[in-house]
Amino acid sequence: MTPPSGAPTDPPRDEDALEELLSRPTPALTAALALAPGDIVVLGAGGKMGPSLARMVRRAAPARRVIAVSRWTNRHAADALEAHGVETIGADLLAPRELAALPDAPNVVFMAGQKFGTSGNPTTTWAMNAALPAFVADRYAGARIVAFSTGNVYPLTPPEQGGSRESDPAAPVGEYAFSCLARERIFGAAAVRHHTPVAIVRLNYAHDLRYGVLTDLALRIVRGEPIDLAMGFVNVIWQGDANVFALAALANADAPEPFVLNVAGPETHRVADLARALGARLGVEPVFAGTEGKDALLSNASRMRALLDHTLLPVETLLDWVAGWVRAGRPLLGKPTSYERRDGRF
C-alpha cells in the first residue's frame, strides 16, 4: 500500500528516529498554533505522550518558550527535551507551593493523570484526575487550556454505529472513567466561572511503537499467548498524529462551553483482523480466545478530521512498523494498554 503524500514511509530504526517522527510537526499545525500565541506550559509532560508533544510544540513554534513540567522520575526524557530547546521544571503538581511557583503562560496543555493502579489505589486516581484539575484551573484561570481526557467516558457501542460522538451522553464505567469525567466537569466549571477557554481531548488508543494496542497484540502473538476477543473492535491512531490534533485544539478552546474533541483513528478495526495482519508479518499464527463482543469502546473521529488538513499515518504502515520493531527486539515501555478490559477496572 502506498502511503498518502506527506506521510512518512521509512520505519524508525531506533528510539532517536522514533522520537523525531513522533514530534514532527506539519505546516497546518504551525498555522493552527499561530492562532493561540504565547508561551506554552505542558503539565504532566513526563508520561508516554508528553515528551514528544512538548518537542513538537518547540519544533512548530521555535520562537516560543515551551515549558515541560513533571516530577521527571525519568531524567533521560528531561535531558533529551532540554537538548531540543524545551525547558523542563521538576514539580509535584499536587504540592500547592510548587504549582503556584510555575511560570505564567497563556497556553496550557494538561496531561497529568492516573489510570493504572486505580483498582488498588483509587484515592490517588481521584486526587490526580479530579482534585488536581481544580487546582490547575484556578492557577491558570483565563489561560487557554487543552485538557487530556479519554474515550473511556463513553459507553461501549456496536461497531456499526461508528463510535461515540462528542455530543453523545457520557456513560463511564469504573472509577477511572468516572474520575476522568470529573476532570472534564471541573475544567468545564472553570470555563464558566473564569471564562477560561477550554478544549477537552478525549483520546482513544494513541500508538507509539514501544506501546499501544498493536504492540500488545504483537507481543502476545510472538509469545504464543491467546488474544481475548471480548473487546473485539478498536480505534488506532499514531501518537504523532494524536499530538498534532491535541495541539491544534488549543486554537479551538472555548468558553463558557468547552470545545470537545475525540482524538482517535477514523476507522473501526476488528481486533482479530489486526492480529492476523500482524501474525502474517511476524510469521506466527495468532491464537484467539473467547467470543467476539458485540460492542466496544469506540470513538467517532469526524470532528477531528474536519479540524485540520493533516495526513494520518496509515494503519497498514503502523502494522509494518510495529511488527518490525517487535521482531527486532527494540525497546518497549512495558505498559500494556489493557484495551481488552470491559469492566473499567484498571
Sequence-distant (≥ 6) Cβ neighbours of residue 66 within 8 angstroms: 39, 40, 42, 54, 57, 58, 85, 86, 87
For residue 344, what pLDDT is reported?
76
For residue 60, what pLDDT is reported?
96
Domains and CATH numbers, the chain: 15-208+237-267+298-311 (3.40.50.720)
Question: Which grid cell is 176?
Answer: 477511572
Residues of the chain where predicted confidence (pLDDT) is lower than 70: 1-9, 117-119
For residue 7, what pLDDT is reported?
56
How far apart are alpha carbons 37 and 259 in whole angstroms?
18
Greatest Cα pair distance in the chain? 57
For residue 117, what pLDDT is reported?
63
**Under 8 Å between Cβ of 157 and 164:** yes
- Burial of 23 (C-beta count, 10 Å sphere; 0-12/13-18/19+): buried
How far apart are alpha carbons 109 and 111 in whole angstroms?
6
For residue 4, what pLDDT is reported?
42
